[in-house]
Structure 1
Amino acid sequence: MSGDLFVKRYDDPERCATAAAHHGWLASLDSGVRLPALIARGAQHLVFERLPGRAPRVKDLPQAAAALGRLHAAAHRQELRATRLDRPHTTSTGLVIPDFASPRRAPLHHAAAEASIHGSVIDALLDRAGESVTFYKDPNVRNYLANGNEVAVVDFDDLTLAPFGYDLAGLLVTASMTYGRLADRSITRCLRAYRVAVAPQICSLADLKRYAELHHLLTLRYLGRNGYRHPWPAVRPWPDPFLTELP
């Protein structure tokens, strides 16, 4: 890192090339959401412009949710309208985006077994082929930069297809595990901001709760690291839907 540049280094040249392709596709969506410009690339590093800002705090989360919604809406409108969640998608730039379930099924079943959650519950949440499609891009709260009224999106290592609301749930889970339990009004404002950006009928609170549990299972191993100080069961702002709401 130096001056106005940020250098992201990779151990694997293929992962470096994939991250550059992800960035290029997201930038091509013309969503109005700020992304850092990719200045240069090598076999195992990418050089981005350094954007001003800091990780969003609780008060910034609705702005982050709105930025995420604008990206999701642009991706669906321009590329993913006719895509299915259970099939990989090849974009207009030649990027192959993996389907929703395949990269998650094994790790989720493993984590669910340790948490005494029946695998059929996990499968019911993963097998959602008929839903409208957007993407997942590691919604960790640290992958946003808040600067005044603007929120930029950074980190382009991971990308898969996902249903609307899945990344929003991840943002709220990672923020809760970082800052503690979010007030109901914060959740409501984030959901409203996201739905204004995508469509009023997309992403119900029930969907948000269920997707949050998938993120919790996938994030368990990071508790105590990377700023994750609070276990999700201790800061979950609603009852556990696996126990109270799912069939």
Structure 2
Amino acid sequence: MNQVPFTKQYRTKAERQTAERNYYWLWKKAPELGLPLLLKVSNTSLDFEPLPGRHAHPSDLPQLAALLGGVHGRAWAVELRGARLDQPWRTADSRIPDYLQTRQEALHRRAESGYLPPDGSLLRLLRTLETTATGPAAFYKDSNPRNFLLTTAGEVRTVDFDDLTLAPFGYDLAKLLHTLALAHGRLSPARLHTARDAYNAAASRYGPGLTVSEDALVAHLQLHQALTAPYHDRPHYPYAPRPAQPASGSTP
């Protein structure tokens, strides 16, 4: 087996520092994610242990949805129960950006770059965003299928810590559902229902109300559809509609 460490490069030292802080917060608050060991920190890079495995497939949804529900519920129980979705969350050694303002800014950038049609879509999406910015706080770490590795033993390992924000319950699950559809084609209603049920069952073990309703999940999917538009030209998203303009920058 290849034992050469995996190196993640960053454009600046500040970006590397953000990713490193995100990594350690997830390591402490969501150990079930199975993060790789961090072996070395350099000025603009991080070296991790090599991980075997394949990327996530729609057939893995029940397992991954339960994993996300569990880590979101646990993070709320051990730290985030005092967090608000419209304010950053600060700890002694980290700062997790808020959910609302970061996505308001991202939606405006999508509109300015031509990814949203000039038919009132921006206003509708901003209203949708506001309706989802209530309730208990979980976190978002960009749960797309390429950020999960499944081993031959059935274990899940999670990679990529560049993005971490607060988010409502179910938002990161919706990102996984949306990007799986971009990579593998439309998911059946049965898969969606099974994934939501698995997520809610795992999250609700940590407290009442730590679930995502069907309406909220649909709202999250609508937001992800707009926010991921700059990335629809990636080769690993063959079922995505082609973007009208080049990507302009921020993470959904």
| Superposition TM-score tier, normalisation by shorter sequence | 0.7 to 0.9
Q: Which amino acid aligns with 2:75?
A: A
Aligned-CA RMSD value? 2.0
TM-score normalised to the size of structure 1? Answer: 0.86
- Residue 64 of structure 2 is matched in structure 1 by 64
Q: Distance in 2 between matches of 1:213 and 1:130?
A: 17
Q: Which amino acid aligns with 2:227?
A: L
- Residue 122 of structure 2 is matched in structure 1 by 119
Q: Distance in 1 between matches of 2:185 and 2:107?
A: 24
The total of aligned residue pairs comes to 231
Q: In the alignment, is the contact (CA less than 8 A) between 2:88 and 2:98 conserved in 1? A: yes
- Give the C-alpha shift of residue 4 in structure 1: 4.7
Is the partner of 2:33 in helix, strand or coil?
coil
- Residue 224 of structure 1 is matched in structure 2 by 233
Q: Which amino acid aligns with 2:180?
A: A
- Give the C-alpha shift of residue 210 in structure 1: 0.7
Q: Distance in 1 between matches of 2:241 and 2:120?
A: 15
Q: How does 1:177-216 map to 2 (within 5 A)?
A: 177-199=182-204, 201=209, 202-216=211-225
- Residue 78 of structure 2 is matched in structure 1 by 78
Q: Does 1:23 align with 2:23?
A: yes
Q: Which amino acid aligns with 2:125?
A: I
- Give the C-alpha shift of residue 208 in structure 1: 0.8
Q: In the alignment, is the contact (CA less than 8 A) between 1:33 and 1:70 conserved in 2? A: no
Q: How does 1:45-194 map to 2 (within 5 A)?
A: 45-92=45-92, 94-111=93-110, 114-115=116-117, 116-127=119-130, 128-147=132-151, 148-194=153-199
- The CA deviation string for residues 159-206 of structure 1, in whole angstroms up to 9 with x for no partner, is 111100001000000000000011222112211111111018510111
- Give the C-alpha shift of residue 22 in structure 1: 0.4
Q: Distance in 1 between matches of 2:237 and 2:214?
A: 24
Q: Which amino acid aligns with 2:140?
A: Y
Q: Where in structure 1 are there 5+ consecutive unaligned residues?
A: 234-247
Q: Which amino acid aligns with 1:227?
A: H
- The CA deviation string for residues 38-76 of structure 1, in whole angstroms up to 9 with x for no partner, is 111111110111222110111112212122222211211
- Give the C-alpha shift of residue 126 in structure 1: 2.6
Give runs of ≥4 in structure 1 deviating > 4 Å: none
Is the partner of 1:32 in helix, strand or coil?
helix
